[in-house]
Amino acid sequence: MSNITSMQLDIVSAEANIFKGIVKSITVTGSLGQLGIHPGHTALLTALKPGQLKAILENDKEEIFYLSGGMLEVQPESVSVLADTALRADDIDEAAAEAAKERAEKALAEHRADMEYSAALSELAQAAAQLEAAKMLRKLKGKR
């Protein structure tokens, strides 16, 4: 077992550096499901689905982020996340995410052309992930 107790986490989007700091662990939505990453984890490179990333900081506080998808690179002492869009859960506009979810659900119900259908599925997945990140943050704030 590794003696490493923390790791560097970098979250970068196309627009900005979202987070850079030391964490004890992260949980993230990988392409095949939830991944738990702890210090000393074996090297890993995987795609990410729209979802949340929960980081446990050095002081045991939790940070929640929304990721639109992207790539995750894990090394024993560091984790890098490259996402098209990444937001702190505090920055999510829940009303806009709910409106996007409703638009996507309506488009799916109308069975439009294949291209619109796949775009609606993608929009629905992203809106649902944003809403889930906001819900996780509300729950976390309720604990404090």
Those residues of the chain that have pLDDT short of 70 are 1-2, 112-115, 140-141, 143-144
Q: Of 69, 89, 109, which marks where a domain is finished?
A: 89
76 and 28 part of one domain: yes
82 and 105 part of one domain: no
- The domain that holds 126 is classified in CATH as 1.20.5
Q: Tens of pLDDT along 1-40?
A: 457 889 999 999 988 899 999 999 999 989 888 999 999 9
- Domains identified in the chain, total number: 2
User: Is residue 1 situated within a structural domain?
Assistant: no
Q: What pLDDT, on a 0 to 100 scale, did the predictor assign at position 75? A: 94
Cβ(12)–Cβ(83) under 8 Å?
yes
Q: What pLDDT, on a 0 to 100 scale, did the predictor assign at position 143? A: 61
Instruction: Name 11's bridge partners.
Output: 19, 81
Domain, as residue range, for 70 = 7-89
119 and 70 part of one domain: no
66 and 132 part of one domain: no
HSE value, Cβ hemisphere, 13 Å, CA-based, for 94: 10
User: Is residue 2 situated within a structural domain?
Assistant: no
78 and 107 part of one domain: no
Q: What pLDDT, on a 0 to 100 scale, did the predictor assign at position 36? A: 96
Cβ(95)–Cβ(107) under 8 Å?
no
What three-state secondary structure class fits 3?
Answer: coil
Q: What pLDDT, on a 0 to 100 scale, did the predictor assign at position 120? A: 73
Q: What pLDDT, on a 0 to 100 scale, did the predictor assign at position 1? A: 47
